[in-house]
Amino acid sequence: MTMTRFRDGSAGDIDYGIAGVDYAVYRQPEPFIAARVRDALGTGQRVLNVGAGAGSYEPTDRQVTAVEPSATMRAQRPAHLSQAIDAVAENLPFADGAFDAAMATYTVHQWSDLDRGIAEMRRVTRPGGAIVILAAAPERLHDFWLAEYMTEPLDIEMERFPAIERLATLLGPAARVHEVPIPLHCRDGFTEAYYGRPERFLEAGVRGAMSSWTRVAPERIARFEADLQRDLESGAWDAKHGHLRTQPFYDGALRLIVRPESGA
């Protein structure tokens, strides 16, 4: 099928040649989440990472092949990881059953053809191999306190993120969905990662590492900054949400959708 790609190769509705410039600075892998991804991958040694970005959550003790269409994101991969291949999920350049396991983190909402992308992941993963997807449950996004200040980035994410039930169905009858609690000092700067650190939303770099914010009008962001700054200075935010500053975990929208390893 025909697919629109931006100048740096980004596929989807976000130009990571712009949005992804500082991605690796703010989107570091969170060890708590990484452990769950690693466990879900099972024992397979040949792992495919689809939509790999800057390499977050790739296990370092496996033979990982990364696929990433954005040149900007490929360039941010740290030196200890393999170079990523320029390709898209919907057309993976590998033979059937080439990998023991496959993973896709924070990427399925970018795919132009979700059904085909997951079908490709299944095709190139050996029978019985694990397939792991890390994504957000769209129906949970507006539960986050940010919705009290602005809904635009959450609305955009709701429109883009596929239903978790759909992802599970595409992975097959063995698929299971697991909630992933978010730690207070989460190193991976997606929206809910700052549930107890509201001041971070006033940083342009933090917002720029969340793709949905790049589609919000600048004047709307300016109004949000003013409103949040006011409530932080007055104590209004803390009066309502201050308990989150010391809450160890937040049960938000993050989910692992897993076709578990079988026949090992």
Q: Per residue in 137-192, pLDDT tens? A: 999 999 999 999 999 999 998 988 999 999 999 999 999 999 999 999 999 999 99
H-helix or E-strand containing 133?
strand 125-136
What is the CATH superfamily name and number for domain 16-259? Vaccinia Virus protein VP39 (3.40.50.150)
* Average pLDDT of span 20-24: 58
For 17-75, give the DSSP string: HHHTTTHHHHBPPPHHHHHHHHHHTTT-SEEEEET-TT-TT--TTSEEEEE---HHHHH
Of 1-5, 15-19, 172-176, 214-218, the range with the lowest mean pLDDT is 1-5
Q: What pLDDT does residue 3 have?
A: 44
Q: Are 12 and 112 in contact (CB under 8 A)?
A: yes
Whether the predicted pLDDT of 1 surpasses 50: no
Q: Are 27 and 43 in contact (CB under 8 A)?
A: no
Q: What pLDDT does residue 264 have?
A: 47
Q: What pLDDT does residue 10 have?
A: 41
Where do the domains of the chain lie? 16-259
Whether the predicted pLDDT of 128 surpasses 90: yes
- List the one residue out of 134, 50, 114 whose CA is nearest residue 88: 50
Tokens of 220: 């709307």
- Residue indicated by tokens 């397939």: 131
State the amino acid at position 25 in one-letter form.
V
Whether the predicted pLDDT of 115 surpasses 60: yes
Q: What pLDDT does residue 23 have?
A: 60
* Order of strands across the sheet that contains 46-50: 63-67, 46-50, 99-105, 125-136, 254-259, 176-179
Q: Cα–Cα distance between 8 and 126 in angstroms, integer?
A: 32
Q: Cα–Cα distance between 48 and 139 in angstroms, integer?
A: 29
Residues in contact with 119: Cβ distance below 8 Å, sequence separation at least 6, in sequence order: 170
Q: What pLDDT does residue 20 have?
A: 44
In the predicted model, what is the mean pLDDT of the chain?
90
Of 18-27, 77-86, 143-152, 240-249, the range with the lowest mean pLDDT is 18-27
Which pTM was predicted? 0.88
pLDDT tens for residues 197-244?
999 999 999 998 888 888 899 999 999 999 999 999 999 999 999 999
Residues in contact with 142: Cβ distance below 8 Å, sequence separation at least 6, in sequence order: 151, 154, 158
82 DSSP 8-state letter: P
